[in-house]
Chain A
């Protein structure tokens, strides 16, 4: 083989390999999308019975399913906002101030990142049970914010590495108070880090199964609704909703990639 054919051959193998990996990653998603158009009506909804849009219509009259979706979005948004506020303030505070126990807090932040989620889930379950806090929306939000906060802190911290303290001092010198300075000067500079952290918090929250499983009480998030339906076969309206969610998120990714984030670079 001469050099050119050899190069072509390795190029071909590389494309084939990467293509195979993407096929692996997207295969179940293709299956989900195809099955959302499946005309079958009998459990477990696996045999292909022809093409239909009916499940997309049915979806909008399936109140419990829509409810679970709304619950998931609500929890994701609220826990995201909480984790962004607590995490951003913490990251800036830990950057600016020296205090006793800083290393401990730093270490504790890694616990939700490395520990298996099930341990975090059952530990919060036992606490909520012991403290007689009824499990539901509140406990779900607390739990989700807990595993999201570290990711916000890390993202904001990454931005702080090249943060110039003097602009803050200039603001204080010019007579702005600390809260005004934080909101008008510090936050905008850190915005990409905060945005990255927020996005991560939201993503982790909507996908969470394990921690929600132990902290939900009677409230059903979308993943828990899916889990419940798996025993009898996931009905195609769940696939339809998943397909719509996928389209929605793909759109968000596309928009953020092509516009908003680029401005900050």
Chain B
């Protein structure tokens, strides 16, 4: 009886009050800005780099310049290797902390997150301090007389990938951890009871049941890699630029916002394509949110 009375009371006001703020917020700070970037990507500039609102495909044509194509390829390659390394390290790691060191798993899991409470820029700079020509590693190698002059570790694709793996590793571990944690111990025992060897159990039971975590982690690692300009700035030293560096340049010194917008649209399209593939593979959006 009571609930009916409340339902009769107008539901419009609380509905507007509860759903209104989020609608306005997303509308003004996500939808409009992204639509504006889309519009701008079809605009030109005058000689002072002011935006001229006149339809042109010029920006998109310029995206096919050879030096740009090279950077897209490089960026995709860096993202690919980062993702593969994160899977190869993250999967056994997540498996071990959830199923082998079960009693300590909460602490072990927390210890993956804690480094993130120190600013990521300064941690990346920590790698530069460690690997630099006068850095800790070179000093050690020199003191041990293993090398006679400092080794140049820095400023290449390898160190950029190292930095990306470092920054994004937890985003692989988090979905893997929750996928592996859900694994039913009885299934593994059943598989063993039925005579399956360890390898068979892994490929026929464990992996298919946790592959969703691999997919979610891959999305969470691959896509940010394309944009993380500060990692390639600090550890790549201009030799390992990603698409993010190209965009940043247009909104900074280059000041060609329409070109930067067109580059951003490319990044959005890549994101949409990858998320679409992810959904086709059976991935749920919810696993990306946490």
Which residues of A does B touch, CB under 8 Å?
14, 17-18, 21-22, 24-29, 31-32, 34-35, 46-48, 86-87, 89-90, 92-94, 96-97, 99, 101, 105, 108-120, 122-127, 130, 142-143, 145-146, 149-151, 153-155, 158, 169, 172-173, 178, 203, 206-207, 209-210, 213-214, 222-223, 226-227, 230, 234, 238-239, 242, 245-246, 249-250, 253, 257
Which of the residues B89, B108, B110, B247 comes within 8 Å of A253, measured between beta carbons?
B110
Q: How far is the CB of A177 from chain B (nearest CB, A)?
A: 11
Contact A113 B36 (CB under 8 A): no
Instruction: Please give the number of chain B residues whose Cβ is less than 8 angstroms from any Cβ of chain A in the complex.
Output: 84
Contact A32 B230 (CB under 8 A): no
Given A105-B22, A105-B23, A169-B2, A223–B121 Cβ distance below 8 Å? yes
Which of the residues A92, A105, A113, A245 comes within 8 Å of B288, measured between beta carbons?
A113
Q: How far is the CB of A202 from chain B (nearest CB, A)?
A: 10
Contact B119 A223 (CB under 8 A): yes
Q: CA of A92 to CA of B14 in the docked complex: distance in angstroms?
A: 11
Q: CA of A122 to CA of B38 in the docked complex: distance in angstroms?
A: 12
Q: Counting CB contacts under 8 A, is B40 at the interface?
A: yes
Q: Which of B5-33 contact A (CB under 8 A)?
A: 6, 11, 14-15, 17-19, 21-23, 25-26, 29-33
Q: CA of A105 to CA of B30 in the docked complex: distance in angstroms?
A: 11
Which of the residues A86, A93, A130 comes within 8 Å of B15, measured between beta carbons?
A93
Q: CA of A109 to CA of B22 in the docked complex: distance in angstroms?
A: 9
Chain A residues closer than 8 Å to B289, beta-carbon distance: 110, 113, 150-151, 154
Q: Counting CB contacts under 8 A, is B65 at the interface?
A: no
Chain B residues closer than 8 Å to A89, beta-carbon distance: 17-18, 21-22
A-B contact pairs, 27 of them (CB 8 A): A14-B96, A14-B100, A14-B101, A28-B123, A28-B124, A28-B129, A32-B129, A93-B15, A93-B18, A105-B19, A105-B23, A110-B288, A116-B244, A118-B247, A119-B227, A119-B268, A126-B261, A143-B29, A146-B25, A149-B22, A169-B3, A207-B117, A207-B120, A210-B229, A210-B244, A222-B119, A234-B122
Closest 9 CB pairs of A and B: A93-B18, A28-B126, A116-B227, A90-B22, A123-B33, A173-B2, A249-B117, A154-B289, A127-B33
Q: CA of A226 to CA of B224 in the docked complex: distance in angstroms?
A: 21
